[in-house]
Chain A
Amino acid sequence: MGQDFIQSIVSALGGTFKDILPIILVLGFFQAVAIRKKIENLPSIVFGLVLVVVGLSIFIVGLEKCVFPIGTQMANQLTDLNFLTSGDENVIAATKDSIKIDPAIYLWTYVFAFLIGFSTTLAEPALIAVALKAKEITTGAISAWGLRISVALGVAFGVTLGVYRIVTGNPLHYYIATGYAFLLVQTYFAPKMIVPLAYDSGGVTTSTVTVPLIAALGIGLAANVPGRSPLIDGFGLIAFASLFPMITVMAYAMITEILAARKRTADKS
């Protein structure tokens, strides 16, 4: 089994090198043609590039052989009819027969989606950096923890709603279009200094490890829930996970602003 992994990594090296090559060419070209300076510490740069190719190959094999299967396995187990119905044969037969399934029986799947979204976002290094910057820009009006928790809640709600959509099979674009319409209206009323940060938090939160896991969860769910197609219904969770943090971060800023205004009027009187 270990050999199998090593073989996969070695055969991934060529592909990874090809994927990295455009960046090397772009940087090399502009360095030579436009900047026309010699690169300092060339040997250490070359060593760094070797690290990138080797690390990326190992990482990609890990994503394909571990993170993706974990997402799929969790989807399989959480939607397993024996698990959902505690093995009640009558209920299993009824669920299999009925075309319309009760979305409520997937309760544990929603809980799982919520917890995965919340915990991975809270631990996301890129978000920690953004949160500290936010505290600095707003001179402390937005606390770093407040921002991190609002983003994490946003991702958690987003993924959970996305899972519900897969279970029900509603069209994805209805949800997303409504979400963005809401976001635009909210942008109009939100404190101006939070807007760029809120929009940024959408893209920042979906990291390299979380994205494949969530994608695998969605595809696995669509493969298991009766009447869903993985290709048509399985994708979309990442879109939810990028949209909802923007809404919750703006909501957080609006609430802090209202609370601060109340405090000021209370202090005056």
Chain B
Amino acid sequence: MDVFPIILVIAFFQIIIIQKPFPNLDQILLGIVLVIVGLFIFILGLDSALFPIGEKMANEFATKGNALWVIFFGFALGFSTTIAEPALTVVAGKAGALAAGAGAIEDNQESIDSFVLGLRLTVAFSVGTAISLGVLRIIKGWPLIWFITGGYSIIVITTFFAPPQIIGIAYDSGGITTSTITVPLVAALGVGLATAIRGRSPIIDGFGLIALASLNPIIFVLGYGISVYGLNI
């Protein structure tokens, strides 16, 4: 769906403003077909296999499971869905290539791969942690605003010690992770939990998980940057 406005805006710019033929047009057109077809098949598969099972399971855990199981399930769900997120795969790969190109890490395939995998695992781990923390918050009824203010304070402080090569990627990672696979499954868990526990609002608590899942990766990726490049003092 969102491919068409992109084509429209770019075609407008290319023809009216830049007034030059688009470089490698045939390859780009073939690529657009791949994006549309691939996304269609991918979402069809998600809707017929992963989402029904995942949503049902999230619901079942929320209503019947004991607290420890739900927290554990929340971590596993957050971790595994983030690893599969395509936007993260692509952007992390680019970040690795750039880091190598700029001489921040060694410029060979092995060290790029290990940097990219480390980055993706860090983000996945942070989303998992965020979801289990969010589940605990819903169960205990702690106000979300504590976590948001606390989280952003930690981000601001950590940023001062973080190497500049990681700050941009870290701040972006929050928005990249909450995407096609993660959001529906995590929201299902939040809404299920909030409906099952008395006195919780499905709207506030369902969204709260996503808010934490976009905040926590920033902290963890800043930490990852410090561990790779060293402290910036």
Q: Which residues of A contact B (CB under 8 A)?
A: 1-2, 5, 9, 19-20, 22-23, 25-27, 29-31, 34-35, 39, 44-70, 73-74, 77-78, 83, 108, 112, 115-116, 119-120, 122-126, 137, 171-173, 176-177, 180, 184, 187, 196-197, 199-200, 202-204, 206-213, 215-216, 219, 229-239, 241-242
Chain B residue with Cβ nearest A22: B80
| A137 CB contact (under 8 Å) in B38, B86, B91, B203 | B203
Residues 62 to 84 of chain B near chain A (Cβ within 8 Å): 65, 69, 73, 76-77, 79-81, 83-84
| B18 CB contact (under 8 Å) in A52, A56, A78, A231 | A78
| B2 CB contact (under 8 Å) in A73, A120, A215 | A120
Measured in the bound complex, the distance between the Cα atoms of B14 and A69 in whole Å is 15
Instruction: Give every chain A residue within 8 A of B40 (Cβ-Cβ).
Output: 55
Chain B residue with Cβ nearest A137: B203
- B contact residues, range: 35 or more
Apart from the given pairs A25-B80, A44-B49, A119-B8, 17 other A-B contacts in the complex at a CB distance below 8 Å: A1-B27, A23-B83, A26-B79, A51-B45, A54-B41, A54-B45, A58-B38, A60-B86, A62-B38, A65-B31, A115-B12, A126-B183, A200-B210, A209-B2, A230-B98, A232-B167, A235-B168
Q: Is the interface of B mostly helix, strand, loop or mixed?
A: helix
Contact assessment for B35 and A235 in the assembled complex, using a CB-CB cutoff below 8 Å: no
**Which of B27, B168, B174 has the largest number of chain A CB atoms within 10 A?**
B168
Shortest Cβ-Cβ A-B pairs, 6 listed: A66-B31, A48-B49, A235-B168, A51-B45, A55-B41, A59-B38
Residues 186 to 214 of chain B near chain A (Cβ within 8 Å): 203-204, 207-208, 210-211, 213-214
Contact assessment for B80 and A211 in the assembled complex, using a CB-CB cutoff below 8 Å: no
**Which of B1, B31, B54 has the largest number of chain A CB atoms within 10 A?**
B31
Chain B residue with Cβ nearest A108: B17
Residues 28 to 55 of chain B near chain A (Cβ within 8 Å): 28, 30-50, 53-54
| B20 CB contact (under 8 Å) in A48, A77, A229 | A77
Chain B residue with Cβ nearest A59: B38
B102 close to A (CB within 8 Å): yes
Instruction: Give every chain B residue within 8 A of A69 (Cβ-Cβ).
Output: 24, 27-28, 31
Instruction: Give every chain A residue within 8 A of B47 (Cβ-Cβ).
Output: 48
B103 nearest CB across to chain A (Å): 9
Chain A residue with Cβ nearest B95: A235
Measured in the bound complex, the distance between the Cα atoms of B179 and A180 in whole Å is 21
Residues 87 to 103 of chain B near chain A (Cβ within 8 Å): 87, 89-91, 93-95, 98-99, 101-102
B151 nearest CB across to chain A (Å): 10
Instruction: Give every chain B residue within 8 A of A65 (Cβ-Cβ).
Output: 27, 31, 34
Contact assessment for A52 and B46 in the assembled complex, using a CB-CB cutoff below 8 Å: yes
| B94 CB contact (under 8 Å) in A1, A48, A66, A68 | A68
B233 close to A (CB within 8 Å): no
Contact with A along B112-127 (1 / 0, CB 8 A): 0000000000000000
Contact assessment for B174 and A239 in the assembled complex, using a CB-CB cutoff below 8 Å: yes
Chain B residue with Cβ nearest A2: B30
Contact assessment for B172 and A237 in the assembled complex, using a CB-CB cutoff below 8 Å: yes
Measured in the bound complex, the distance between the Cα atoms of B27 and A171 in whole Å is 36
Contact assessment for A200 and B168 in the assembled complex, using a CB-CB cutoff below 8 Å: no
Contact assessment for B50 and A23 in the assembled complex, using a CB-CB cutoff below 8 Å: yes
Instruction: Give every chain A residue within 8 A of B180 (Cβ-Cβ).
Output: 207-208
Report if A74-B38 is in contact (Cβ < 8 Å); known contacts: A60-B90, A237-B172: no
B48 nearest CB across to chain A (Å): 4
Contact assessment for B38 and A30 in the assembled complex, using a CB-CB cutoff below 8 Å: no
Report if A19-B90 is in contact (Cβ < 8 Å); known contacts: A51-B49, A58-B37, A172-B171: no
Instruction: Give every chain B residue within 8 A of A229 (Cβ-Cβ).
Output: 102
Chain A residue with Cβ nearest B88: A211
| B99 CB contact (under 8 Å) in A53, A64, A231, A237 | A231
Contact assessment for B9 and A112 in the assembled complex, using a CB-CB cutoff below 8 Å: yes
B132 close to A (CB within 8 Å): no
Contact assessment for A202 and B214 in the assembled complex, using a CB-CB cutoff below 8 Å: yes
Measured in the bound complex, the distance between the Cα atoms of B73 and A122 in whole Å is 34
Measured in the bound complex, the distance between the Cα atoms of B176 and A216 in whole Å is 13
Contact assessment for A207 and B2 in the assembled complex, using a CB-CB cutoff below 8 Å: yes
B107 close to A (CB within 8 Å): no
